[in-house]
Amino acid sequence: MSAQNFAVNQRMKNLIARNRELALGKKRELLAPNPEFLIYHWSGECEAFAPASGELAPPKEQVISFGDHNCRVETGKPYPYADQMPSKTGKFEYSEYNWAVDYAYFLDHSPVVIHPDELIVGEMNWQLEEARLYKYPEECQRLGFEARKVGAGGFSLAHTCPDLGIGITLGWSGILEKIRKNRAKFESYGNQKSAEYLAASDLVVSAIIRYIDRYAKEAEKRGKAEVDREQKLLYERIADNCKALAVGPPQTFEQGIQWINFFFVVERMNGHGNGYGRFDQFMYALYEKGIMDGSLTRETAHELIAEQYLKYGASYFSFGGRNEKLEDATNELSWVALEAYDMLGGYNHLGVMWHEDMDPAYFQYACEVVARHGAGTPTLVNYDVLRASELYSGFSEEDAWNVCYSGCQWYCSVGKEYQDQDVNCIVLIQPMQRAMKNCVQKNLTTFEKFWEEYDKEVHVSADALVALKNSQYLWQHKVWPEMITSTCMHGPIEKGKDVTDIGAVNNNYTSVNILGVPNVIDSIYAMKKLIFEDKMYTMEELLDALERDWEGQEVMRQRFLNVDKFGNDLDDVDRMAVKVSEHIREVLESKRNIKGFFFRPSLFQFMGHTYAGPFMGATPDGRHKDEFLAHGMNPMPGRNQNGISATANSLCKIDLRHFQGGSLQIELTPIVTQTLGDTARFINHFSRVFFQKHGVQINLNIVDLKELKKAMDDPENPKYQDIVVKVTGYSAHFVAMDRKLQEEFVSRVNYVEG
């Protein structure tokens, strides 16, 4: 099916234009306070930093912009009632109830925003971090600084996958009833702690219901005053939908979409980073009901879903995968939801979960959409590897089947897992560097002895991370509970515990991003060959050269640079890749968090590779200190010279079922003589072979990097303004990204098919 089959009416064109204006006008930026935050997922500022606004950060011009990446709409003004927040006028406490009082006040004093042409409403202009202090006690801060010294860091906020099917089934009124029923139960048991938590949850959900009711009243008022017939009808539909959602669960597909958007808004006011599950599964009953009773058409469903995508593209919905019987779960809504993106193209975060038994026509269509829009959407994910990874880690069959692609490279058991994924990190280069220095100090001359030192130092970094995370976990549910997320998880309300608290959900494995893995692989392999086997150089000579960034040692650098490198399907160096990656897995699996679960490695890191170079210095793989590190588990640009298939083969020699992410990033060169069908067929064939070898994820842009280099210096040129790319695991308009991020992106390999 081709894009021109989907009609876009004038209302949708107006909404598309507004969305584009927000993105290019830097009204939807996601920010970081400094490079250290991106490298370590922690810095001195990060626990008092609002990632959507940069509040409490250095001056705005000093922060780092990822580009358009969330649903917050910048007004240019601070939250007007911050000084009147209950915690600022009364006693500030680290407590769930104190937090809930603040959140309820914040939501009650957040504006109702309805724009012309909208049918799906709800928008936020501020996040709670801009009004309430998000900062852990001093002990956590101290452990954060100590961890960073040895190459580790992290903080805890969101990055799980709630089960929106709970909310679609119960509605906010049903959730409130559930909270009150369980609160009464705990009170009868004399369990005051759980009863108090649910009293706090009552405050939050009651505020959400008031918020939705305010939208109903505002739309009704506007409808009465509106003279334009079409706009008047929109206001009336908005009012009717919001009235219904204030008192019960959604009864129609349209109301279901509206419920989802309200959930996004009220949850993202509290924190950034969750995925939102298997849309084609939890929304299918409402879709089928509408189709069967004639109240919904496929075309109307396209429009409703597309509007939701425009409201908030970072929804990380998934389609496909398997059902509870492990049969193909693809249904008509899987098609409709992907067709809705095909109407729009551009910025979005959607995943198609492939498996061997998937409807081949649907997967072919997914590949066509990737080929047509070239923006890395949908992400192609291997459902069977996701499920196998959960089972390997210790999930039950009951929890593992409902796994879902949920973020940049990560996945969750829907509603049954809290892992604070994507916000914890070990920088693997640092323990390697300490091991090198230990070799000199101890006069060690064999690779086996070096590896013993490396093993010891990786444990040092991991132990520092464990200490930091366990300290945070003791405080997290008091410092920054996630009560809205908790309403759509299996366990928190029933147990009277926040999802962030110990024992609230079945699975609490801590996920850890690993930065610099390919650099460590290439470095250790080069040292093994040139220092320990060939005896061409000593470790002391190497350290001296690295300290001087190879100055005066270009011949030496070239030798280290030209040793075989990961990503070329060469068994010797790829065996080192397996050794290094399996080692970090074993180290982390030997550690336990205070929730009783081990740490899981993800062979990925969000954006630290772009900024870490000068902090790490030159490395034994031949890299200069100012060069970028490798992105995720992808080879260093320019080192994989045997083609895209060789790169994929190298990655697949690692058993990715034992990890928690390890995506393959591809920037494919567009070829003007090539047909769309040829490109889609190539993507289909390549991804199937990759997945059959247990590859886990493909992010595939179709882009001319030479053109993007021109865009960097001519960002106002209309030719470049609508180019959207999948950067690592997130999407953004290229011209809206920080210059450094742009430079890293254009340095990548522009693969050619085959």
pLDDT tens for each residue of 143-196 = 999 999 999 999 888 899 999 999 999 999 999 999 999 999 999 999 999 999
d(CA 259, CA 168): 7
Helices (H), 374-446: 383-393, 397-400, 429-442
CB 29 within 8 A of CB 65: yes
Q: Is the pLDDT of residue 226 over 70?
A: yes
**pLDDT score recorded for residue 134:** 85
Rounded distance between C-alpha atoms, residue 577 and residue 650, angstroms:
8
Residue 387 clears pLDDT 50, i.e. is over it: yes
Query: Would the pLDDT of 136 be above 90?
Result: no
Distance CA 414, CA 160 (A): 8
Beta strands 424-427 and 152-154 are antiparallel
The pLDDT, as a whole number, for residue 106 is: 98
Residue 48's pLDDT is: 52
As a whole number, mean pLDDT of residues 414-443 equals 96
- For 648: left if phi > 0, alpha if psi spans -120 to 50, otherwise beta; the answer is alpha
Q: Which residue has the tokens 């991020």?
A: 741
Residue 433 pLDDT class (50, 70, 90 cuts): very high
The answer to whether residue 482 scores a pLDDT higher than 90 is yes
Nearest to 179 by CA among 208, 155, 159: 208
495 φ, ψ (degrees, to nearest 5): -100, -5
Give the model's pLDDT for residue 326: 98
Tell which residue, 506, 497, 315, has the closest CA to residue 417: 506
| % of the chain with per-residue pLDDT over 90 | 88
The residue-averaged pLDDT of 313-320 equals: 92
Q: What is the mean pLDDT of residues 110-131?
A: 95
Q: Count Cβ atoms below 10 Å from residue 90 Cβ, excluding itself.
A: 10
CA distance 219 to 398: 43
Provide, rounded to the nearest whole percent, the portion of the chain with pLDDT above 70: 96
Phi and psi at residue 51, in whole multiples of 5°? -65, -20
- Mean of pLDDT over the chain: 94
Spatial separation of the C-alpha atoms in residues 152 and 396, rounded to whole Å: 30
Please answer whether residues 690 and 648 qualify as being in contact, where contact means their C-beta atoms are separated by less than 8 angstroms: yes
Residue 2 has pLDDT above 50, yes or no: no
DSSP strand pairing (424-427 vs 510-515)? parallel
In whole angstroms, what is the distance from residue 694 CA to residue 677 CA?
26
- Domain coordinates of the chain in residue numbers? 279-395+663-754
Low-confidence winner among 57-66, 80-89, 343-352, 408-417 (lowest mean pLDDT): 57-66
Q: What is the pLDDT of residues 389-412, one digit of tens each?
A: 999 999 999 999 999 999 999 999
